[in-house]
Amino acid sequence: MRKSKAFLKKEFLHLIRDPKSLFLISLLPVIMLLFYGYVVRMDVKNIKFGVVNYDHSQFFEGLVSDMEASSYFTREGEFPSLKDCEKWIVKGKVDACLIIPSNGYKKLLTGKDTEVLLVLDGSDSNLATTVANYFHAFLAKFNSKHMPRGPEFRFSVVNFFNPELKSSHFFVPGLAAIFLMMICAMLTSITIVKEKEIGSLKLLRLAPVSPFQVIVVKLLPYLFLAVVEASLIIAVAELWFRVPFRGSLLSLGVSIFIYMFAGLSFGVFLSTIASSQAIAMILSLVLTILPSVLLSGFIFPIKSMPVLLQALTYIIPARYFLIIIRGIMLMGVGFKEIYRELVFLMVFAIFFFVISTFRLKREL
């Protein structure tokens, strides 16, 4: 026990001997969250549209000005014919073109439906889909306001957990999860390989400590650092981005602790297999960032992926932590709803911890 205490002290000393980089490391994720928290927005505003109005009635002019009034759409111009509007779409100056047929209003008065045509710029398919959806919703509202009511199948919508449909409430916790994973894996990925490179790992063979103790002692200072880090990040999410916090702090604390443990032991594992610090860093970046961003459900819904890739997402810790942190913060869930995710993270952490111990034993 005393031996590991001395050893632990040495590790802490290593950590605080370089206050400049320590400071940088702790501030980096916070700064990134502050910056990228503004970047990731998937809801679309200011859809630019052009109008070709062959109808000229007051009714359809009202429709266009209603559209403009609805904060989603911005009118860029009116065109005499579709040909002119086409040019603007090709140039990317408008996202969509609304074409109102001649005698549209007259047709409505005789009791027949009038079809307006929305020409979309499909080269950005995501945007085009959203625009079509928005316009559809707009028309539904417009019809119920201006047209005589008849029998109609309608439904009301309740948006649970995020009634204002704020994109940042969803993405800020997600960014927190990604930055935490990245920092943890990176921090510990160079620990052991560094000692390997400068040769001090061989000295450890002579020291009366077991590989288990070595790894525990290597992890502890970073776990401490990571918890401080996590608190900072959560504070920024809460106080700056005003993400609601509906669950209990305790359950979030426990989850973060386990998640960090998973990230750190994954980093140590990389450190035991890498032959140099540079390789360890490359591995930690490649294996944490891209999968955490793309395969965790951070932006792209897992459910929409092909089955094979869905299966792949099960081995990514960020997938589970995203469910946990979004659940706790936005839905206010407790341990009852997230215990399965926690168990997986725990298994992940212990698995890599044990493997690293074995690898280190062989090394020593």
Residues 86-105 that bind other proteins (CB under 8 A): 89-92, 104
Q: Contact at 8 Å (CB) between 168 and 37?
A: yes
| Cβ-based neighbours of 170, under 8 Å, separated by 6 or more | 162, 326, 330
Nearer to other proteins, 99 or 217 (CB): 99
Q: Is 151 in the site for other proteins (CB under 8 A)?
A: yes
Assess 65 for contact with other proteins (CB under 8 A): no
Of residues 13, 115, 235, 339, which one binds other proteins by CB under 8 A? 115
Is position 34 an interface residue for other proteins (rule: CB under 8 A)? no
Tokens matching residue 357: 């111990």
- Residue 251: CB minimum distance to other proteins, A: 13
Q: Which residue has the tokens 């759409």?
A: 73
CB of 149 to other proteins, least distance (A): 7
Among 83, 112, 205, 362, binds other proteins (CB under 8 A): 112
Would you mind telling me the total number of residues written for the chain in this entry? 364
Q: Which of residues 125 and 200 has its CB atom nearest to other proteins in the complex?
A: 125
Place of tokens 């001649």: 102
CA dihedral 357, 361, 363, 364 (to 10 degrees): 130
288 or 357, CB closer to other proteins? Answer: 288
Residue of the chain from 135, 266, 321, 352 that contacts other proteins (CB under 8 A):
135
Work out how close the CB of 9 gets to other proteins at its nearest, in angstroms, rounded to a whole number: 26
- Amino acid identity, position 214: V
**Which letter, b or e, does each residue of 277-293 get, where b requires 16 or more Cβ atoms within 10 Å of its Cβ?**
beebbebbeebbbebbb
- For position 327 contacting other proteins by CB under 8 A, the verdict is yes
Beta carbon of residue 6, minimum distance to other proteins (angstroms, whole number): 29
Q: Which residue type sits at 348?
A: F
Q: Among residue numbers 209 through 248, which ones bind other proteins (CB under 8 A)?
A: none
Under rule CB under 8 A, residue 143 binds other proteins: yes
Cα separation, 233 vs 106, in Å, equals 59
Alpha-carbon distances, residue 19 vs 24, 67, 115, 180, 277 (angstroms): 8, 56, 67, 20, 20
Q: How far is the CB of 7 from other proteins (least distance, A)?
A: 25
Q: By CB under 8 A, which span of 150-158, 210-218, 227-235, 266-274 interacts with other proteins?
A: 150-158
- Binding residue (CB under 8 A) for other proteins from 65, 133, 200, 231: 133
Least distance in angstroms from the C-beta of 216 to other proteins? 26
CA distances (Å), 305 to each of 299, 302, 310, 362, in order? Answer: 12, 5, 6, 40
Binding status of residue 337 toward other proteins by CB under 8 A: yes
Measured from the CB of residue 10, what is the shortest distance to other proteins in angstroms?
22
**Count of residues near other proteins by CB under 8 A:** 100
The Cα–Cα gap between 173 and 330 comes to: 9
Distance, in Å, from the CA atom of 45 to the CA atom of 162, rounded to the nearest integer, reads 18
Residues 231 and 350: their CA atoms lie apart, in Å, by 23
Residues 171-210: x where in contact with other proteins by CB under 8 A, - otherwise, as a string: -------------------x--------------------
291-320: contacts with other proteins (CB under 8 A): 293-295, 299-301, 303-306, 309
Would you tell me the crossing angle of helices 211-235 and 191-198 to the nearest 10 degrees? 130
Q: Does 63 bind other proteins (CB under 8 A)?
A: yes
